[in-house]
Amino acid sequence: MKALILIGGQGTRLRPFTLNRCKCLLPLVNRPLITYQLALLKRFGFKEVVLAANASQPGLSEITRLGKEFSLSVKLSLEKSPLGTAGAIRNAAPFFKKEKAILVFNGDFVADFNLERIIALHQERNPVATIILAKVRNPSSYGLVVMDERGTIRKFVEKPAPEEIVADTINAGVYLLSQEAINFIPAKKNVSIERETFPSLLTSGQDLCGYIHYGYWLDVGSIESFIQATRDILDGRLSREFLLPVKEEKILPGVKIEGQAIVAPGSLVKPGAILRGHVVIGPGCYVDQDCLLEEAVLFEQVSIKKGSVVQRSLVGRESILGSNARLTGSVLADGSYVGDFSCLGETKFSEQ
């Protein structure tokens, strides 16, 4: 079986970081986001993957190179204009002519799916499509999927009102699609598989099957969920067998670690600095003495000068924070500069 990963989205909820970089290349705990999916495919014996991307998307050669690092044969299915999730699948159909079914990933999740069980269920039931589902506490901001006791999907409810919430299972962004499902999608049109294709298949009387995943899953499509995924990975909620091994820089004596911290090769954290809570420091960073990093993520080549504080913040690559500056609850775009003694975030002014 072959796999298709949809990576053509603009990543608007992850701006400013996706303005100059593809979402799937954003470093999540110093690993490109797409490597979490490539590692999952490799773990379950996949050999070939097609990446559905926009033709003008930056970083395509880097994405292809990453796939080859996992010994995967990587091909690109390019679209000149946005085709939506279903349209991108239909556009990639020529790569899958000989396949009875294909595995499709949305390009922005981290999970420990058991793909062997999912494929076995699909082959046993032989539906037109199998949708992998995740359970969430509050499904109101997701697309709700309602099944019967046999796992047959009976209803889709997009962003349900409180009175419409009759289940807690949502679309996890992973599908097994038959050729019939792929051919059902109109060619060269912008179509959503979640909002258009699946409901239309159901209305036409086709059999759709659901598989509930009870392990780890997170949609990493926003700044908030990106930070949550960082914490989860540092806390070990995702098994190492689903992670690309990364090298770490040795932390010098005199650096105080009060939590879970990872420092990439080529970075220097000087003695007297404190790393508290969940901290990720990317490649080529510099953290001077007497700095405090608390619940902080630094992308590549960030410089934090003496006495500065970064709390609950995400700092883009090649940014500079001057000495004795404070960054609190903030998102700093790539290439930003914050001057000495500056304060960004939760700054309070006294009333006169």
- Residue 299 sits in a domain whose CATH number is 2.160.10.10
Please count the structural domains in the chain.
2
Pick from 213, 242, 271: which residue ends a domain? 242
Q: Which range of residues forms the domain containing residue 74? A: 3-242
CATH classification of the domain holding 164: 3.90.550.10
Residue 76 in domain:
yes
For the cut 80, the answer to whether the pLDDT of residue 246 exceeds it is no
| Residue 168 sits in the same domain as residue 297 | no
pLDDT tens digits for range 42-65: 989 999 999 998 888 888 888 888
Percentage with pLDDT > 90 across the chain: 60
The dihedrals phi and psi of 257, each to the nearest 5 degrees, come to -105, 120
| Residue 54 sits in the same domain as residue 169 | yes
pLDDT tens digits for range 277-299: 999 999 999 999 999 999 999 99
With DSSP H G I counted as helix, E B as strand and the rest as coil, what are the percentages for the chain, rounded to 5? Answer: 25, 35, 40
| Residue 80 sits in the same domain as residue 173 | yes
- Taking the C-alpha atoms of residue 226 and residue 127, their distance in angstroms, rounded to an integer, is 33
Residue 57 in domain:
yes
- Model confidence at 118, pLDDT cuts 50, 70, 90, reads very high
**What tokens does 85 get?**
């999730």
Of 102, 90, 17, give the one whose Cα is nearest residue 315: 17
| Residue 202 sits in the same domain as residue 326 | no
Which pTM does this prediction carry?
Answer: 0.88
Pick from 218, 242, 266: which residue ends a domain? 242
| Residue 87 sits in the same domain as residue 154 | yes
SS3 163: helix
11-25, 166-180, 240-254, range with the lowest pLDDT: 240-254
Pick from 187, 219, 242: which residue ends a domain? 242
DSSP state letter for 282: -
- Model confidence at 135, pLDDT cuts 50, 70, 90, reads confident
Residue 251 in domain:
no
Taking residues 8-13, report their average pLDDT.
80
